[in-house]
Amino acid sequence: MAARATTRWSLTGRIALAGVLLAIAWPTSLAELAVSPATALPVALVACLPVLVAPEHPLRAWAASALGGVLVALVVGPAPGHALGVQAVYLVVLGGLTALVALRCAPWAVAVAAVSPALVVAAATRSTEGVALAFFWTLVLLAVASLVRRVLAQRREIAVVEERRADEESRRAVLQERARVARDLHDVVAHAMSMVAVRAETARYRLPEVGETAAGEFAAIGDAARQALTELRGVLDVLRADDRPDAALAPQPTAADVDGLLAATAAAGVDLAVTRTGEGPVGPATAVSLYRILAEALANASRHAAGAPVTVALDHAGDAVHVRVANGPGRDAAGPGSGLGLPGMRDRAAAVGGELTAGPDGPDGTGGFVVEARLPAGRAAGVPA
């Protein structure tokens, strides 16, 4: 909208300028040139019309003006008592177009345009003095235009440098914030998870009364803590990677890892029922979103509806993967969460072009909670499109 408005105003300004020039050139052509009232308007239009196309096509506008001036000087000629076969208004327009060529066109075009005023004056006066004077003022005009062109070029270069510096400062601020977040995660979360893993591993040695069943649970807790630490280290590597292409990054989960996630959830004591329908390739981006959404939904179900049965339905139909995680009302629920789980799942679904809904199950909200997502299957690695 802004670009269209700018173009409209530019065209309006050009028409206004051409109208003002025509209002001056039309009556003065009768006094300065040997024209009749019938030919005064066409001669005036020769001086004014090139202004209309000058902003977009300065070289064409200059060529039309120069050729028109030569034709007027050769065909019409000066009026009695005048030595110049073209109008003063025309010379002002030609000088302006020559300066515009010097500002915006290639050097060869500037060299060609430099001789146009002298040629027009030569055709109009047929005198050596007039040609020399035209050359002098043309050189002055080109010198000023070249100086202005250099100043404008330097200002553009300064603007580019300032923009690059602002981008670099913004990037540096982002990297500093990422480094701070990485330090906080390492100092707080990594230390706490390490303590969980150590205490779970040493429980059977510190507590002689721990039986085999409890020892197995502690071992599972230790394995989960170590897996969480591994994933956390991957996140820290990404945060610390900056722009290093050789930074070691942890592999992202794939569709094959969903089975391991479901098995680990069931092994943790969740009453889990899984149904699958359909099959097909799943793209890597969709696989990551599917895994993370499932992990978050199962974690929410086990935390906020402890002891409730959980059902997972996975349906690969055509070019989409449908996942539904539903849990019944729990006997013992944890406190309120951080409020980031559901928005995070929605963001992951939207990132791959999918959609996610979540809410209480049943009209009164006492039947549990349901998370449903539809994700485009995408294209799996190695599978032709």
pTM over 0.75: no
Q: pLDDT category, 19, cuts 50, 70, 90?
A: confident
Is it the case that residue 2 has pLDDT exceeding 50? no
Q: Give the whole-angstrom CA distance, residue 348 versus residue 254.
A: 15
DSSP assignment string, 66-84: HHHHHHHHHHT-BPTT---
Q: Of 61, 37, 57, 34, nearest to 47 (Cα)?
A: 61
Residue 274, strand partner residues: 312
C-beta of residue 274 within 8 angstroms of C-beta of residue 312: yes
Q: Give the whole-angstrom CA distance, residue 206 versus residue 221.
A: 16
Token code pair at residue 48: 């004014």
Is it the case that residue 282 has pLDDT exceeding 90? no
Token code pair at residue 371: 């998370």
How many CA atoms are closer than 13 Å to the CA of 262, on its beta-carbon side? 18
Q: Give the whole-angstrom CA distance, residue 96 versus residue 117.
A: 11
Q: Give the whole-angstrom CA distance, residue 380 versus residue 385.
A: 9
Q: Of 268, 247, 264, 342, nearest to 300 (Cα)?
A: 342
Residue in this structure with the two tokens 């789980």, named with its chain if needed: 341
SS3 of the chain: helix, strand, coil, percent, to 5: 65, 10, 25
- Taking the domains of the chain in order of start, what are their residue ranges? 2-126, 257-376
Write the CA distances from 258 to 211, 300, 335, integer angstroms.
Answer: 31, 17, 27
Q: pLDDT category, 322, cuts 50, 70, 90?
A: very high
257-376 in CATH: which number? 3.30.565.10
Task: Output 31 or 141, whichever has higher pLDDT.
Answer: 31
**Residues 189-223: pLDDT tens digits?**
766 777 777 777 777 777 777 777 787 888 888 77
Q: Of 142, 130, 133, nearest to 97 (Cα)?
A: 142
Is it the case that residue 255 has pLDDT exceeding 70? yes
Residue in this structure with the two tokens 């510190």, named with its chain if needed: 206
Q: pLDDT category, 317, cuts 50, 70, 90?
A: confident
Determine the length of the chain: 385
C-beta of residue 273 within 8 angstroms of C-beta of residue 312: yes
**Residues 65-90: pLDDT tens digits?**
877 777 777 777 666 766 666 777 87
Q: With b meaning 16 or more CB within 10 Å and e meaning fewer, what string describes 77-96?
A: bbeeeeebbbbebbbebbbb
**Residues 155-171: pLDDT tens digits?**
888 888 888 888 888 88
**What pLDDT score was predicted for residue 355?**
92
